[in-house]
């Protein structure tokens, strides 16, 4: 986007230009809310598109934790769409998500939760569908195509993630966080590998789980698998397509920033809890 084509936005640019002194400067324009973005100027006086993207949208508040795969799925999509969030981070180890105050926000007592103005929505898959529908623009057709059969396959993967794969992670993490286990059992590992096997099957004839290109299904399943790797890594010999798919996703900047880093953090947190539980025994 060039300054020469932005005359109609001159009043906003006056504020921005006043703040620019070097090649890269962090700015917080008042019309965007709490945003930290970099403006890079080159010989063509080009300005990053993200600054203007969704500038007039309502402020979005996300309740999340960095080690939470569902939270990271929302953050990956938000970054892809150029959305900006404010954040609240309930302390899950202190059970803040179980308090009466939090249950008023989300009766399920889970994260993530999105607030868009006076509208509140929980559950990462529902949140991502909402964000894509409202703010997706051209990306909506790319990430959640309108073709009936393609969309049905994406939905199948999303329901698999919500109903089965993520449950494999909770089967380990929930009892660990309340002090009941200090390692993953053989049953846990077998269940996780069963999930990896299903992902492997989804990838049998395509590079992504729902077809030839990345969709919402890859974002959600990829974040869950990145978290599961913190419990039991994907074995490339047993699940070569799953391993290659995960590497393919990790090459996407936002996936690496949120999903991969979040999975590593989840693994560290889980092992810390396991050590604590062993000492308690």
Please report, for residues 72, 114, 136, 267, the alpha-carbon distance to residue 80 in angstroms, rounded to integers and kept in the order given.
12, 17, 9, 25
Q: DSSP assignment, residue 235?
A: P
Is 68 one of the catalytic residues?
yes
How confident is the chain (281 residues) per 10-residue block, as mean pLDDT?
Answer: 37 32 30 33 32 52 96 97 94 84 93 96 98 96 97 98 97 94 97 98 97 97 98 98 98 95 96 94 72
Q: Encode pLDDT of 40-49 as tens digits.
A: 323 332 223 3
Q: DSSP assignment, residue 46?
A: B
Please report, for residues 163, 199, 232, the alpha-carbon distance to residue 204 in angstroms, rounded to integers and kept in the order given.
21, 9, 22
CATH of 60-139, one of 3.40.718.10, 2.40.110.20, 3.40.30.10, 1.10.150.120: 3.40.30.10
Q: What is the pTM of this model?
A: 0.79
**Does the domain spanning 141-280 belong to CATH 1.20.1050.10?**
yes
141-280: same fold as 60-139? Answer: no
- Do 62 and 112 form a contact (C-beta atoms < 8 A)? yes
SS3 percent helix, strand, coil of the chain, rounded to 5, is: 55, 10, 35
CA separation for the pair 56, 30 (Å, rounded): 11
pLDDT of the residue at 58: 56
Q: Encode pLDDT of 240-273 as tens digits.
A: 999 999 999 999 999 999 999 999 999 999 999 9
Which is the catalytic residue, given 38, 68, 183, 186? Answer: 68
Domain spans of the chain, in order of start = 3-51, 60-139, 141-280
Neighbour count for residue 164 (Cβ, 10 Å):
14
């Amino acid at each position: 986007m060039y300054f020469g084509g932005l005359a109609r936005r001159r009043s906003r640019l006056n504020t921005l230009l006043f703040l620019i002194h070097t090649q890269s400067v962090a700015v917080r324009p008042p019309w965007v809310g709490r945003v930290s973005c970099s403006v890079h100027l080159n010989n063509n006086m080009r300005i990053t598109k993200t600054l203007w993207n969704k500038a007039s949208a309502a402020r979005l508040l996300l309740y999340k934790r960095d080690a939470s795969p569902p939270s990271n799925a929302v953050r990956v999509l938000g970054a892809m769409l150029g959305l900006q969030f404010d954040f609240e981070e309930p302390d899950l180890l202190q059970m803040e998500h179980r308090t009466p105050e939090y249950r008023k926000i989300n009766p399920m007592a889970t994260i993530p939760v999105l607030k868009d103005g006076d509208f509140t929505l929980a559950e990462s898959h529902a949140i991502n569908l909402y964000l894509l529908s409202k703010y997706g623009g051209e990306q909506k057709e790319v990430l959640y195509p309108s073709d009936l059969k393609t969309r049905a396959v994406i939905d199948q993967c999303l329901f698999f993630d919500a109903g089965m794969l993520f449950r494999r992670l909770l089967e380990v993490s929930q009892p660990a966080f309340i002090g009941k286990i200090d390692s993953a059992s053989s049953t846990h590992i077998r269940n996780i590998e069963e999930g990896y096997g299903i992902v492997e099957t989804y990838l049998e004839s395509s590079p992504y789980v729902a077809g030839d290109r990345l969709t919402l299904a890859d974002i959600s399943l990829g974040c869950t698998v990145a978290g599961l790797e913190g419990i039991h890594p994907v074995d490339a010999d047993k699940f070569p397509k799953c391993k290659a798919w995960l590497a393919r996703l990790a090459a996407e900047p936002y996936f690496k920033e949120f999903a991969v880093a979040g999975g590593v953090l989840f693994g560290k947190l889980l092992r810390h809890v396991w050590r604590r539980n062993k000492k308690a025994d």
